[in-house]
Structure 1
C-alpha cells in the first residue's frame, strides 16, 4: 500500500512506522488515522516481522488528534473515528512482533495513548507528556482513561486527565509510562540496542511470553497461572536449553541481556 502521511519502512525483521506530519506535530487527522490502521494491519499479516517501531517525523512523536479538523466533522464522525482509533490500538497491543515506541518531543493525547499499547517505550529527556482533552471539552477515546490508570494508578490518572497539565519524561518514567530515558541524539541507538536483544530471543518463547503478560493483566492470579502452563511439548525449548548448557546460547543471549538498561 502507498502511504501519504506516514512512512512504512521494512528492513529485514524490523518494520518502522513513522507518523509523517511534522508541521502539525504529527497530529492524527482522518487520513493519517486510516493509514496508521492500514499499516498496523500490514504488520500483522507479515509473519517475518519481529520488531515494530513506532515513531514520529521531525522533533515530535504525536500531539494526538488534529483538533483543527474537528470543525469540519459531521455529527457521526466522532463515533466512527473513535471506533477506528480503538481498533488500531487494540491491534497494536495484540501484535505478535515486539512493539517499541520511540518518543521525542510532544507526546500528548492520542500520542500518549499510542504508547500505552506498545511493549516498550524509549523516550528522550525533552519529551512533554499529557492528556489535555479536558481543555477541549472532550474526553480521551482510546486508552487515556481506561489504560493509563493501569500503569500509573487511579490517583495519577485523575490528575493528568482532569487537570490536563503537561509533565516531563522523568515523571512519565516514575509512573511506568517509560522504560528508558535518553538524550535525543541517542534515541536511534537505544532503539537499535533493544531490537538486537529482542531479535536474539527465541521468537516462539518471546511470543508466548508477550501473550501471557498481556492477557494475564486482566485476570485473577489463579486464572493467569493457567497461561504459564506448557500446552505442548515445545521442542524449541530443548534447543535453547542445550545451547545454554553448551554456553553457546548463553554467551550470545546473556551477554546482550545481562546488565541491559541497568546503568
Structure 2
C-alpha cells in the first residue's frame, strides 16, 4: 500500500507528496503520523538541499479530515491540534530550502502548511479558502501567525472572518507564489525553480533562511493561543461538521 505521504530523493533534491487524493489530501491521524516521520527523516538528512512539497491528484491539501475529527474525543482532539501546529513549525524550520508546488486548491490549514515553505509556485487551478469560521472554529495549525507574516494581520483576519476565496491572480499579485502556470506546465515550473535553487550555494541559502526566521512568524506567540484554539475545536458539538467534507 502506498503511504499517505511519500518521500522521494533524487540527488540533492527531495520531493514530499501528500497522497490521499480521494480525500483531497486531507490529514487524518495516520497521515499526520506519516508526515511527522518524514520530517524526522529530513531533519537527519545532510545530503538533501532542496525539498519540494506537493499533492497527488487534483487538490493540494484540504487541511484536516473533518469526518475523522468529528469522531475524536476531547483529549485526542487537543493532542492532534498541538501536533499539527508543531508540524507546521517543524516544516517552516527545516534546514533545507523548501518549495511548495500547489497542484490544486489549498483549503484552510492545508494552505497554511503550503505557505510555510520558503518559495511557492501554483497551478492555475489553485485557489485558497479559509472556511473554518463558518464551521464555528478558528483556523489552527498556527495559521494566523503564518498569514499575518505574509499578508498582514488585518487582511488575514478578513479572509478568515469572511471565508474569502483567494484566486490564482490574487495569489500572484500578493506574491504568495512566485508564478502561476497552467497545470500541464507545473512540472516544468517546479523543475526550473528547483534547478535554480540547486545552482547556488547551499550555505548561502541556509544562512539566508536562518536570518529570515528571526523576522518570520512568531510561533511562540501562536503557541500561547493554541490551547484555546484546540479547545474550541474539541468542544464543538458532535456531528456539527459538514458531512463529506475535509478541510
Output the TM-score relative to the length of structure 2.
Answer: 0.84
Q: Give, in whole Å, the separation in 1 of the partners of 2:106 and 2:192.
A: 22
Corresponding residue of 2:55: 56
CA deviations on 1:95-129 (whole Å, 9 max, x unpaired) are 11110000022201121111221001100111121
Q: Find the residue that maps to 1:140 and give its secondary structure.
A: coil
Q: Give, in whole Å, the separation in 2 of the partners of 1:118 and 1:11.
A: 19
CA contact (8 A) 2:5 2:16 kept: yes
Corresponding residue of 1:23: 22
- What stretches of structure 1 of length at least 5 have no aligned partner? 220-263
Corresponding residue of 2:82: 83
Corresponding residue of 2:118: 119
Q: Give, in whole Å, the separation in 2 of the partners of 1:203 and 1:82.
A: 33
Q: Find the residue that maps to 2:62 and give its secondary structure.
A: coil
Matched, 1:140 2:139: yes
Larger radius of gyration: 1
Q: Give, in whole Å, the separation in 2 of the partners of 1:39 and 1:218.
A: 23
Q: Give, in whole Å, the separation in 1 of the partners of 2:160 and 2:68.
A: 22
CA RMSD of the aligned region, Å? Answer: 1.6
Matched, 1:107 2:106: yes
Q: Find the residue that maps to 1:146 and give its secondary structure.
A: helix
Output the TM-score relative to the length of structure 1.
Answer: 0.79
Corresponding residue of 1:38: 37
CA contact (8 A) 1:116 1:143 kept: no
- Check 1:133–1:218 CA distance in 2 against 1; reply closer, same or farther (3 A cut): closer
CA contact (8 A) 1:41 1:91 kept: no
CA contact (8 A) 1:49 1:97 kept: yes
CA contact (8 A) 1:102 1:191 kept: yes
Q: Give, in whole Å, the separation in 2 of the partners of 1:59 and 1:136.
A: 24
Shift of 1:202: 1.3
Moved more, 148-157 or 58-67: 148-157
Q: Give, in whole Å, the separation in 2 of the partners of 1:139 and 1:218.
A: 18
- What stretches of structure 2 of length at least 5 have no aligned partner? 219-247
Q: Give, in whole Å, the separation in 2 of the partners of 1:218 and 1:20.
A: 28
Q: Find the residue that maps to 1:76 and give its secondary structure.
A: helix
Count of matched residue pairs? 218
CA contact (8 A) 2:59 2:106 kept: yes
Q: Give, in whole Å, the separation in 1 of the partners of 2:2 and 2:22.
A: 17
Larger relative contact order, structure 1 or 2 (CA cutoff 8 Å, min sep 6): 2
1:1-263 equivalent positions in 2, closer than 5 A: 4-217=3-216
